[in-house]
Structure 1
Amino acid sequence: MRYLLVALLLALMGCAAQQEPFSVAIDPLLPSTILYNGEITPENVASFEQLITNSPTKIESLIINSGGGDVFAGIRFGELVFEYKLKVVVDKACASSCANYIVTASDDVTVRNGGLLGWHGGALQPIYVPITSNKQRANKMLRKEADDFLTQWQQAEHDFFQMVKVNQAVTILGMVPGLEEKRDAQLFSYDQQTLKQLGLHITYEGEQATTSRFGEYIVQIFSVSPDVLETLLTQHNKILQQH
C-alpha cells in the first residue's frame, strides 16, 4: 500500500530520476567506504544497514548514486548516515528522497564534477499543491489512506529535520510563491550560499551541474540573496502555521 500511495503522490511530486540496477558494497579499494547505487527501498536500505553494522572496518564514507525512492526508507537511510557521521559523496546523481534525507544528514557532502543534486518536493508539498483527483474523490477509503500516509510522513520528516538541524523548507522552497513562477526544470537546487543558510554542508568539485550527461536540462539552480531567502522562509512559516 505504501508504494500505491507513493504512486499517487508522484503525480504531485514528479517522477524520480531513472534508476540504475541496485548494488551496495564496501569499496574494495577503500574499506572505510560503502558504494550505494540505485533506488531507495526498504529492502535496499536494510542491506545497507546490515553492511554498515557488520563491517569489520569502521565505515566513514558513503558514495551514492540514486534518483530517490520510498520516503520512509529514505528517512531511515538518513538516520543511519547521521548516526554513523558519514561523509557523503554524490557520484552521478542524488535526487528526490536521496536529496531530502541523505545529503541533509551529513555534515560533509561532496558532489563530484558533473554530479546532479536536486529536490522536487517533500512532506510539506501538499501545502502548495493540494492532493486532489477524480479517483481520490470517488474513493473515500483511498483518500483516507493517503491522508494517513501524509500525516505519518509529515511527522517523520519533521522529526528528521529537527534531528539533523537542516531547514525542512529545503525540500519545497522551489515551490514557494516567488520562486515557483520561475521554475523551468524538473528538479531544483540552490546556490552554495543558500544551501549553507539552510543548514547544508556541501562542496562541489566543479560548477553546480544542471544537465545530464546527455545534455538534458534537469536541475534549476536558484540564486537567492539572504534578504529574499528570509522573506521566502517567513512567508512559508506563516502558511505552515495556517495548516
Structure 2
Amino acid sequence: MRNLMCSAALLALFSPAMAAGEETTQVYFSNGQLEYVGPINQAANQQLIALYDSLAAKPAVLSIRSPGGEVNAGMDLGSWVRAHKLNVRVMEFCLSSCANYVFPAGIEKIVSNFAMIGYHGGPGKLEKLTLDESARKIYDALSAEEQKAFMAQIAGISSQGGRREAQYFEQLGVRADISSLGQNERYDQFVKANPNAAGWTYSLDDFARLGVRDISVINPPWKPRSASRKMVFVTIPVDRQ
C-alpha cells in the first residue's frame, strides 16, 4: 500500500484555514517584550526560546498576533509561557491554537479593547473536523480502503491530541471544553446563524467561568471585533458548572 499520510496535510487539519498559507512567523524583541507574529510552529517556538535565553534581562511579556497553528506546537508554546511565568499581550488577534493554548497560559492576559480571542475547535472533536484543500486532494486520490486507513490515522492523531489537551487544560486550571464548546449543537443558533462565522469567543465574565482569569483590558470596555468582515467570531454564553 502507498504511504498514505502527508504530515503537512495532517497538521493543517488542526489549523484554521487562514493559517494554511505560507506566512512566515516573525519572532523578535521590542520595547521590552517578546513579539510573536504569525502562525505558531515549532521552528518559531525554538527561535523564541533562543531569543529569551540570549537576553540578560528577561522580559515578562509575550505579545502575540497569531491565526493559530498545529495543536502540539500551540501547547508547547503555552507550556513554555506558563513555565516562565510570562504575561500574554494581544493587541489584534489570537485565534485557534493561540486562543486555545497560549492565551490562557499567561499569568496575566492583557488585551486591547478590540482584540479578538477566537475559537473554532480542538483536536478531540474529530466529527467536526474538515479536510483542508491539500488533505482533500490526497483523500480523493485514494481507493475506498485507503480512505478508511487515511481517516483512521487522522482519528488516532485527534485522539492523542485530545488526551494531551485535556491534561494541558487541567494543569492550567481551565475547563476542558473551552476549545470545543461552540461546536456543541446547542450553540448552532449563535454560530451557524451567521454565514460568515468562523468560530466563537467569550465575554470577560465567561472567560472567568472557564478558568481564564486575570484579563486586563486597555481602555475598557472590551468589544472584540474581527479584522475581516468575512470572518466573524460570535460571542457565545457559557453555562455555569
TM class by shorter chain equals 0.7 to 0.9
Q: 1:182, CA displacement in angstroms?
A: 2.0
Paired letter, 1:15: A
Residues 181 and 193 of structure 1: CA distance in aligned 2, closer, same or farther (over 3 Å): same
Provide, for residues 47-78 of structure 1, a one-character-per-residue CA deviation record: whole Å limited to 9, x for no partner: 11222233211221101100011111111000
Contact 2:16 2:68 in 1 (8 A): no
Matches within 5 A, 1:93-104: 93-104=93-104
Residue of structure 1 aligned with 2:224, choices 209, 212, 218: 209
Q: Following the alignment from structure 2 to structure 1, what is the Cα–Cα distance between the partners of residues 91 and 17? A: 20
Provide, for residues 1-56 of structure 1, a one-character-per-residue CA deviation record: whole Å limited to 9, x for no partner: 4322133x35xx752457854211111x31xx101111111111111122223321
Paired letter, 2:29: I
Matches within 5 A, 1:66-81: 66-81=66-81
Q: 1:215, CA displacement in angstroms?
A: 4.3
Q: Following the alignment from structure 2 to structure 1, what is the Cα–Cα distance between the partners of residues 206 and 42? A: 31
Q: 1:138, CA displacement in angstroms?
A: 4.1
Residues 76 and 221 of structure 1: CA distance in aligned 2, closer, same or farther (over 3 Å): same
Matches within 5 A, 1:40-119: 40-119=40-119
Q: Following the alignment from structure 1 to structure 2, what is the Cα–Cα distance between the partners of residues 70 and 130? A: 14
Q: Following the alignment from structure 2 to structure 1, what is the Cα–Cα distance between the partners of residues 81 and 223? A: 23
Residues 20 and 59 of structure 1: CA distance in aligned 2, closer, same or farther (over 3 Å): same
Residue of structure 2 aligned with 1:190, choices 193, 202, 205: 202
Q: Which has the higher helix share?
A: 1
Residues 152 and 38 of structure 1: CA distance in aligned 2, closer, same or farther (over 3 Å): same
Q: Following the alignment from structure 1 to structure 2, what is the Cα–Cα distance between the partners of residues 19 and 164? A: 31
**SS of aligned partner of 1:89:** strand
Q: Following the alignment from structure 1 to structure 2, what is the Cα–Cα distance between the partners of residues 131 and 65? A: 25
Q: Following the alignment from structure 2 to structure 1, what is the Cα–Cα distance between the partners of residues 116 and 64? A: 11
Contact 1:20 1:37 in 2 (8 A): no
Contact 1:37 1:65 in 2 (8 A): yes
Residues 223 and 148 of structure 1: CA distance in aligned 2, closer, same or farther (over 3 Å): closer
TM-score for both structures, normalised by structure 1: 0.80
Residue of structure 1 aligned with 2:26, choices 17, 23, 27: 23
Residues 45 and 110 of structure 1: CA distance in aligned 2, closer, same or farther (over 3 Å): same
- Which 4+ residue blocks in structure 1 deviate beyond 6 angstroms? 130-134
Q: Following the alignment from structure 2 to structure 1, what is the Cα–Cα distance between the partners of residues 7 and 160? A: 11
Q: 1:116, CA displacement in angstroms?
A: 1.6
Provide structure 2 residue ranges, at least 5 long, that are not aligned to the other structure: 1-5
Provide, for residues 101-124 of structure 1, a one-character-per-residue CA deviation record: whole Å limited to 9, x for no partner: 101111311111322210000022
TM-score for both structures, normalised by structure 2: 0.81
**SS of aligned partner of 1:171:** coil
Provide, for residues 122-151 of structure 1, a one-character-per-residue CA deviation record: whole Å limited to 9, x for no partner: 02222x527798748542332232122112
Q: Aligned pair 1:3/2:5, yes or no?
A: no
Q: Following the alignment from structure 1 to structure 2, what is the Cα–Cα distance between the partners of residues 61 and 3? A: 31
Q: Aligned pair 1:35/2:35, yes or no?
A: yes
1:233 aligns with none
Number of matched residues? 219
Q: Aligned residues: percent identity?
A: 24
**SS of aligned partner of 2:200:** strand
